[in-house]
A and B are shown apart, each in its own frame.
Chain A
Amino acid sequence: MRYAMAVDTKKCVGCGDCVVACQTENNVPHGYCRDWIVENVAGTYPKLEIELRSERCNHCENAPCVRCCPTGASHIVDGGIVLVTHDECIGCGACIESCPYDARYPHPEGYVDKCTFCVHRVKDGENPACVDVCPTSCLHFGDLDDPNSDVSKVLKNRKWKVLAPEAGTNPQLYFLT
């Protein structure tokens, strides 16, 4: 089992609903977020393009945050989801420095926090909160080992890219282009 997410940049309108839904689902404190929106504008008026991306932890197969964690708080569970055990985390911040996606933040209670792919929902067969809320249905989630999963199908049928492939992290967050 390998969980992955694909973000359809052709449909994302950058509304930030994924951010709010994550905030309320996971009780992320105000002022912090586990997912966010990036807007890239290219060109000059009137020849322009915008790419909108909903970003979060890439749940890398080769995760630098896990490798550098001195206490083992950062770890990978079944399905390839990268998690942080809060009470094992000493808040040293090494993982924050090591992440090429800037996906982790220091939680005010002293540990490092980030996207869990809503593991508490996924274990019950549900989608992460951001996927279910997205008004444009631009987020696709599922098991890459299952060829019939939503994410497998879109990755088969569409062109895609990952971020910072040169980092060698083998990220599991894909962007449909």
Chain B
Amino acid sequence: MKTRRDFIKITAAGAGAAALGLHALSWDSATAQFIANGDTSPVSDEELTNYPTYCEVCFWKCAGFTYVDKKGNIRKIIGNKDDPHSNGRFCPRGTGGVGMYYDEDRLQTPLIRETKADGTQYFRKASWDEALNLVAEKMNKLRLEHGPECLALFSHGTGGKHFTHLVKAFGSPNITAPSFAQCRGPREVAFTATYGEDVMSPERTDIRDTKCLVLIGSHLGENMHNGQVQEMSEAIDNGATIITVDPRFSTAASKSKYWLPIKPATDIALLMAWAHVLIYEELYDKDYVEKYTFGFKELKEHVKSMTPEWAYGITTIDPNVIRDTAREMAAASPAVLVHPGRHVTWYGDDTQRSRAIAILNALLGSWGRRGGFYNPEKVHLPKYPSPPYPKPKRSWKDAYPPGKYNLVSEVLSTGICDATIPNADLDCHLRGWIVYGTNLMASLPDQKKTLEAISNLDFLVVIDTMPMDIVQLADVVLPECTYLERYDPIRTSPHREPYIALRMPAAEPKHETKPGWWIAKELAKRLGLGDYFNYENYEDVLDWQLKKVGSSLEEMKRIGVKKFNREFDDLYFLQNLEDFEFNTNTGKIELYSTELEMEGFDPIPKYTHHEEPADGYYRLNYGRAPMHTFSRTSNNHNLWDLMKENSVWINPKVAKLWDIENGQLIWLKNQDGVVTDFPVKARVTERIRWDSVYLVHGFGHTNKKLTRAYGHGASDSNLVSKVHMDPIMGGTGMRGNFVTFLKEKPGKEVNA
């Protein structure tokens, strides 16, 4: 019998090219597992019942319907055509969300860490009552002995809102998500400094109507931010010019008219050279700049010497290409979008790079214009009645000197780590963590520091659906049911028009898992905070809220998504040079930032040289694959089928130098001597520059309970031991780590 291809076949063109990842698939029926037990034929939609939901596999939160057959099996999840996040088309992760429900490795019961007489530790299954009592007891003790502010919550995802409410009611302000300091924080701070408003999620980018889309390291199509990928596809249909700046030939680069294979860590030089061309060739939007901006003269002077020839020496991008691309942008203006990106914590000067992007957009007149940045609106649901929160007396910021991080608009997750590690200047360190829905071992850099913080805790409670790596460190594990088995808060994300979306259960929670709202409410009851959760079922809250905006739970159960009218007719609020006062110190778009100047930072971005790899080392870049989200989906059987492990991308010239073959298993070692826990396959490909390597994030899991994902691939987070802190907003720049290759199994005992 001929072997069959894998799900994704990667080949180099040309005769005799080897295909990667070809595996013989087994005839053995014992290995086959069916999505719905035993039933191998498709079922027509008429025989299925559907329940509205919105996806929780990533933060895009696409709305759709879960289809359930007569036996109660969840068969599939399909997008809701009325939803602007998905337009009825889910991405592979959303479609594969069923794999989360059926995952046989799911957490099933509460677990409590126990220590045997010989010192070895293990998890003991516990009842909900016992586990909740224990958590409440630990929280109460912490509150009495150290104050409620010594509790911190790490939260990612919709269900985290229940725990945010609980922790605020408890009296702690230390509520954080890695989505700020490890992801989009620099962009939000930079755009707020420039425009007085941030970019939001989903991004207010009008990709659909743009004539020129500029991507700075943003790999749309590999990061499957559904609505944006759909709109990029529309833009391709409409003949928009795409310009992609990336040291790697990304999927987006392959769809682009211009790919600028930039030397890593030099983006600011390119951005300033573009500003130079726009200004000195007088291509910028003069009326817009005149009417709305502050500091043009200073900017003009600042970029005077930043010519394309100057940038060439830094970025390796041909000066003619720099000029041509700037002219393309100007020709499309104002329907041009220099995309702010999302994961932008790279080199530690990320707020300044994001500022340069914001400035370019201002020169092109794209903010508030069709094809640039629109003005989103959202539905404001009234908050369900609950007592006011107590006022905390201390916060995580006490770990830093006064005045540091004044521009930080959210709590820094790495700041929580700092505030957890005791030091002489800190009158009280954080002593208890609740971690909801985020695998901190993969979502935070500098694992050593995370582990040090955790070792100083009195208790660590982890709430998750899966035995992620962080679960191994917990004192108590509370198993949540998946999003397909629970109610959650109404989705009210902003968009071109305001919409709401409902998530409701399509099945009873499997095993002994419980919805987040129930867990939070039960903890509150045990902490004397029952008044904050004054309802029997979360349906009561949803119905009360929905009725306040003219809908009802009954209606939303039928339609799933409801559109509202915009309150203001100002989607493109600067289209015709309308009068507008920006929420900045000057009331203008600040090309020259008075806010940054007051805090002692550069008011206009400067290019600074970053450290380069030593001989034999290569810059570690990392990113996404379209079928996985963070580290949370790597065990999902449907998505694991598509991509089982990551590989390290190596340029063929480099591979030749090291005598590394495509598919060869190697280990990576970084500049601090950190070696990957597991070997990783080399992917020898022309798609990567010779000075860097690339890993898809989220692999190399260390928890054996993840029976599919354990030990597959390398963890980029593991190798990001060096963090380049953004002094403006505390972002953790993670692309200043360098790795080399080990072809033999390293001397240390590999974590197996």
Closest to A104 in B: B4
Tell me if B444 counts as interface (CB < 8 A to partner A). no
Tell me if B568 counts as interface (CB < 8 A to partner A). no
A16, A37, A38, A45, most chain B CB atoms within 10 A = A16
CA distance A108 to B40 in the complex (A): 11
B95, B232, B641, most chain A CB atoms within 10 A = B95
**Contacts A20-B639, A30-B32, A137-B230; is A13 near B687 (CB within 8 Å)?**
no
Of A17, A42, A46, A138, which one neighbours B90 at CB under 8 angstroms? A17
User: Which residues on the A side are within 8 Å of B11 (C-beta)?
Assistant: 38-41
Of B10, B35, B91, B690, which one neighbours A23 at CB under 8 angstroms? B35
**Contacts A20-B95, A30-B33; is A48 near B9 (CB within 8 Å)?**
no
Tell me if B569 counts as interface (CB < 8 A to partner A). no
A16 to B8, Cβ gap below 8 A? yes
Beta-carbon contacts under 8 Å, A33-68 to B: 33, 36-46, 48-50, 52
From A72-80, A128-136, A140-148, the one touching the partner chain is A128-136
B638 to A30, Cβ gap below 8 A? yes
Beta-carbon contacts under 8 Å, B1-37 to A: 1-2, 4-14, 25-29, 31-36
User: Which residues on the A side are within 8 Å of B41 (C-beta)?
Assistant: 27
User: Which residues on the A side are within 8 Å of B75 (C-beta)?
Assistant: 24, 27
Tell me if B233 counts as interface (CB < 8 A to partner A). yes
Of A15, A38, A41, A108, which one neighbours B32 at CB under 8 angstroms? A108
User: Which residues on the A side are within 8 Å of B98 (C-beta)?
Assistant: 24
User: Which residues on the B side are within 8 Å of A42 (C-beta)?
Assistant: 12-14
Closest to A37 in B: B8
Of A15, A19, A33, A45, which one neighbours B689 at CB under 8 angstroms? A45
B626 to A14, Cβ gap below 8 A? yes
A33 to B233, Cβ gap below 8 A? no
B42 to A108, Cβ gap below 8 A? no
Band of interface residues on A: 35 or more
Tell me if B593 counts as interface (CB < 8 A to partner A). no
User: Which residues on the A side are within 8 Å of B255 (C-beta)?
Assistant: 10-11, 13
B79, B89, B651, most chain A CB atoms within 10 A = B89
Tell me if B229 counts as interface (CB < 8 A to partner A). yes
A13, A30, A107, most chain B CB atoms within 10 A = A13
Beta-carbon contacts under 8 Å, B648-667 to A: 651-652
CA distance A134 to B715 in the complex (A): 30
Closest to A136 in B: B233
B198 to chain A, nearest CB (A): 26
B233 to A135, Cβ gap below 8 A? yes
A13 to B221, Cβ gap below 8 A? yes
A40 to B13, Cβ gap below 8 A? yes
Mask of B81-105 contacts with A, CB within 8 angstroms, 1/0: 0000000111110011010000000
Tell me if B427 counts as interface (CB < 8 A to partner A). no
Of A15, A33, A49, A52, which one neighbours B91 at CB under 8 angstroms? A15
Tell me if A2 counts as interface (CB < 8 A to partner B). no
Tell me if A25 counts as interface (CB < 8 A to partner B). yes
Tell me if A26 counts as interface (CB < 8 A to partner B). yes
Closest to A111 in B: B40
A23 to B641, Cβ gap below 8 A? yes
A135 to B641, Cβ gap below 8 A? no
Of B25, B31, B79, B89, which one neighbours A105 at CB under 8 angstroms? B25
User: Which residues on the B side are within 8 Å of A161 (C-beta)?
Assistant: none
A162 to chain B, nearest CB (A): 17
Tell me if A168 counts as interface (CB < 8 A to partner B). no
Tell me if A5 counts as interface (CB < 8 A to partner B). no
B89 to A16, Cβ gap below 8 A? no
B695 to chain A, nearest CB (A): 18
CA distance A106 to B96 in the complex (A): 23
User: Which residues on the A side are within 8 Å of B79 (C-beta)?
Assistant: 133
Tell me if B685 counts as interface (CB < 8 A to partner A). yes
Of A44, A118, A124, A133, which one neighbours B78 at CB under 8 angstroms? A133
B35 to A13, Cβ gap below 8 A? no
**Contacts A11-B233, A20-B95, A133-B78; is A31 near B641 (CB within 8 Å)?**
yes
A4 to chain B, nearest CB (A): 20
Of B34, B233, B261, B686, which one neighbours A29 at CB under 8 angstroms? B34
Closest to A96 in B: B2
Beta-carbon contacts under 8 Å, A80-135 to B: 93, 96-97, 102, 105-110, 118, 120-121, 124, 132-135
B204 to chain A, nearest CB (A): 20
**Contacts A31-B641, A32-B25, A108-B29; is A15 near B89 (CB within 8 Å)?**
no
User: Which residues on the B side are within 8 Å of A20 (C-beta)?
Assistant: 92, 95-96, 627, 638-639, 641-642
B1 to A29, Cβ gap below 8 A? no
User: Which residues on the A side are within 8 Å of B10 (C-beta)?
Assistant: 39, 41
A27 to B36, Cβ gap below 8 A? yes
Of A11, A27, A30, which one neighbours B236 at CB under 8 angstroms? A11
CA distance A42 to B10 in the complex (A): 11
CA distance A105 to B26 in the complex (A): 10
Tell me if A69 counts as interface (CB < 8 A to partner B). no
Tell me if A21 counts as interface (CB < 8 A to partner B). yes
Of A10, A21, A106, A138, which one neighbours B1 at CB under 8 angstroms? A106
User: Which residues on the B side are within 8 Å of A29 (C-beta)?
Assistant: 32-35, 40
A41 to B31, Cβ gap below 8 A? no
B51 to chain A, nearest CB (A): 15
Closest to B690 in A: A45
A100 to chain B, nearest CB (A): 12
CA distance A36 to B23 in the complex (A): 14
Closest to A120 in B: B42
B1 to A93, Cβ gap below 8 A? yes
Of A30, A48, A132, which one neighbours B249 at CB under 8 angstroms? A48
Beta-carbon contacts under 8 Å, B255-286 to A: 255, 259, 261
User: Which residues on the B side are within 8 Å of A121 (C-beta)?
Assistant: 44
B642 to A10, Cβ gap below 8 A? no
Of B33, B92, B651, which one neighbours A19 at CB under 8 angstroms? B92
A102 to B230, Cβ gap below 8 A? no
B5 to chain A, nearest CB (A): 6
Closest to A11 in B: B233
A106 to B27, Cβ gap below 8 A? yes
A152 to chain B, nearest CB (A): 18
B230 to A136, Cβ gap below 8 A? yes
B249 to A45, Cβ gap below 8 A? yes
CA distance A25 to B226 in the complex (A): 20
CA distance A23 to B40 in the complex (A): 11
B9 to A25, Cβ gap below 8 A? no
A135 to B89, Cβ gap below 8 A? yes
B34 to A16, Cβ gap below 8 A? no
A102 to B233, Cβ gap below 8 A? no
Additional A-B contact list (12), CB under 8 Å, known A15-B92, A20-B95: A11-B236, A13-B222, A14-B626, A15-B224, A17-B626, A20-B96, A24-B98, A27-B34, A102-B4, A132-B88, A133-B95, A135-B89
> Can you list 24 pairs linking A and B with CB atoms under 8 Å apart?
A11-B233, A11-B236, A16-B627, A17-B91, A17-B626, A19-B641, A20-B639, A23-B641, A32-B32, A36-B6, A36-B8, A37-B8, A38-B9, A39-B11, A40-B12, A41-B687, A46-B261, A48-B686, A49-B254, A96-B2, A105-B4, A110-B29, A135-B226, A136-B229
A positions within 8 Å CB-CB of B? 10-11, 13-17, 19-21, 23-27, 29-33, 36-46, 48-50, 52, 93, 96-97, 102, 105-110, 118, 120-121, 124, 132-138
Nearest 10 pairs between A and B by C-beta? A13-B221, A15-B626, A108-B32, A136-B233, A108-B29, A42-B13, A50-B254, A24-B76, A29-B32, A17-B92
